[in-house]
Structure 1
């Protein structure tokens, strides 16, 4: 354990990956050395065991060779004579094999000096005595063979004794190596157990303990214990983590200490922004509604005065042509001040100066030279803030907020006031544009009415005027017969003028029912048929295309009414067909079988046939194409084409 602690202190300054890799490589090398030594001992034991077997076989070959020589001496020559050289050669091969060894089997003598000396004695005994005597006994005959045989018997015993001694030495060496093999195996087991324990201890010390400490610190941090700190015991990754954890704990402790203040600050900021959004939404929603200028400015001033807790305020409109500033609405001002500032010139007082400079300003009256002499200051106002009302880079007016206590405006408040001022400017500009559009529409409609009156009633009245003059001349000349002939013409002219007036009044009062052009046309065609007695057919085709604005639908209805009026006055028709095709494009056609006219007559046609010019003007207003096809005796067809690109929803 002391060594492990020493190892831990030694590697404390290293990186964690280096520590783990070093420890694992160290244990791997130890295991490889132990396994290698065990394998080496096992290989030597196997070689020695094979050497024992081969050396022990020398005794068997020696005794067999002696037996063969004895049988040869006894007169058995057939088999023994041939086998003696084979046995000698076999003993030579065994001795050579044992001396050289065979790594593949494995086979080899143990590297012991005593064993080597004993093997050399065996080899010397064989080469010096045994082999020559055996060859001599094999070659001798009669008494010589018997003497050789007697000498050989003594040497065989000594040769076998040397072999037994050699085998005994090898067995002793094997026993010793077997002991060391078992010892190394036991050491390997002990090393595995000790290495596992050491690895577990080191892993706990290097990884598990730091992780558990870090986990404990995180758990304490999760329980809002920001005072917890970890000991930095190394310079490895866990040491860096511990140092980083301590830094994080320091920052969290600081942040948590000021968290409540920041929360209150953020909450106040969010509340202010929510109030700003509410004001912007309220002003935008209010200004989108339809109001008069005074009502709109009054509601706007009430909202911003309430938001900024102002003691008063004004909204003024600029008349740049006359260099005047007109007061529209006011709050918190005395009657005297309202009367004096109802209309002021550019450059007079603070508001007039702001109108000239076209800038938004905040004045603290006490800081201005001679500010106490201003009428605002005499009425107890300490701060006057003025903001420009603009739309499309054009100055429309200004509004002011009055405070009885000195007050400043932050950049965010100034931006908010500029934004609401822009909203008011857009609303005023839209109101002016809508008013101009209404004026233009009324003017165009009046022009059309005037043209209709001129082309119908005015011509009828002119005809009646001529007839009245002729009647007066006839009565003055006493020509009663001529006067009596003029009266029916007067009666017919009056009737036609009355019908024209009645028809114009009905057309001017025409309205679309439930925004349905088809229903309006159907009703108009039926009314025409009922009043004139001319059969009129109405047909509607097509699936229905893009929607059209109300203005377009009204103009189409007026064009149809004008065409039917022309048919009543001039066509002398007995059948009329009105058809619409409502698809991607809109097509309107009005056809009669009357007397027709020369459609190629140009401008003369417009002067003769009432309403054609008016129909063309109405078609141009909605960007439609009007075409009139007619020739004498073949009826008339009025066609109107409204392309898809010009159809727009109301």
Structure 2
């Protein structure tokens, strides 16, 4: 921007004018006063000429001896420098003319005195003295004029200086102080972080207008940068808050997964924690071997999926339905990695526990086979030899031997079933596979149709729970085959709306007549004990055709003493 009227130049010009006016008025007064230094002397000398003129008249008549001396003094007074210097251009012409008339008239009067013509001198001296008086009066007026000039020039100079000073002050207030105050106010607004300061309206095309426009432009750019910085800070704060929330969620999930032994309820608690802290409506972990859920899913919404990987092998999926906005992808991937690792550890622990259980049961089976089974076999051989030895006519003895043989056969059969039970295996911590492996040999031995239906995701039980469920199912199926003469046996394993596990074995046989077991049979009692170990309930109900055995229990973490 071009500055048309510089403030500094205007103020400098005003100050220069004030200084010049001061110098002018002061100089004029000094010059006038310096020129008036000998005015009093001139007036005094001019006045003395009048007295000397009368004294010469006295000398001409009374003291002639003094006449020559006084004439010399008079001439010196008339030619004095104070009077002679009146012949200057600035001296009034009237004063100069009167002085010249005095000088031109004196030679005639001097001649009269020197010739002794005192009477003629006395006749003319009155006229001469009048001329002296007029000369003195002219000198007086001239001195007064100079004093008036000094007073007027000083007054005019003072008025001009005051007026110019007031104009300068007004100009400074309008064009300097006002804009500067506005700039100070604007700077305080900016200092407090408020860029909506009053507008800087400077009309004059000067430096302050350039400064105001530059300041306004700088403030506008600063506001843009400040808003950008605020936006960046808000974004970074939001990112940090989101990252902190993500880390907190991952930390809490990690704490939950490591604070207690892994079990299905723990995974569901982790999913419930994610549901409570993230914008998801439903979330679940699923595979063909487990299913953990939290939230209420909606069929019209698509599921987002992240695979659960462990050693480059997919073991399941983390699925969720978002609400208004998607949760951070990095969070879900980190959560999926954490849960995948935890599920892999949980399955490994289950498999290890089951392997220990299977090994323990196999050891018991071997011990039973090597001890009790061998003893029972020896007793059956001895009983056969006894039957051959006893006389056939002894019916009482043969009756006792027959009863003993039947009892021994029942005990031997129960021992074989117990050995078969102990030799059941559960591979890869998979209850469904173990159930299918249990049903397959039974299906091959009988003509009855055995079906198995299950809900995916219910395999998430520990080793002890799986063995109890498997043994209850086997006992119920064997009872339906052996005692009910069923043609169809249906095994179903589902989850109820309350989250409980439900195992039902339904057959179309003759139905159970009584829940009281005959002497020497403990199958129903064992099933009830196993249901109690699961903290569940076992119900056996007769139907219109057949019987239904129902096991209902809640999954729970494994007890360290079981």
TM-score, normalised to structure 2, is: 0.41
Query: Which one has the largest radius of gyration?
Result: 2
Higher RCO (CA-CA < 8 Å; seq separation 6+): 2
TM-score, normalisation: structure 1: 0.36
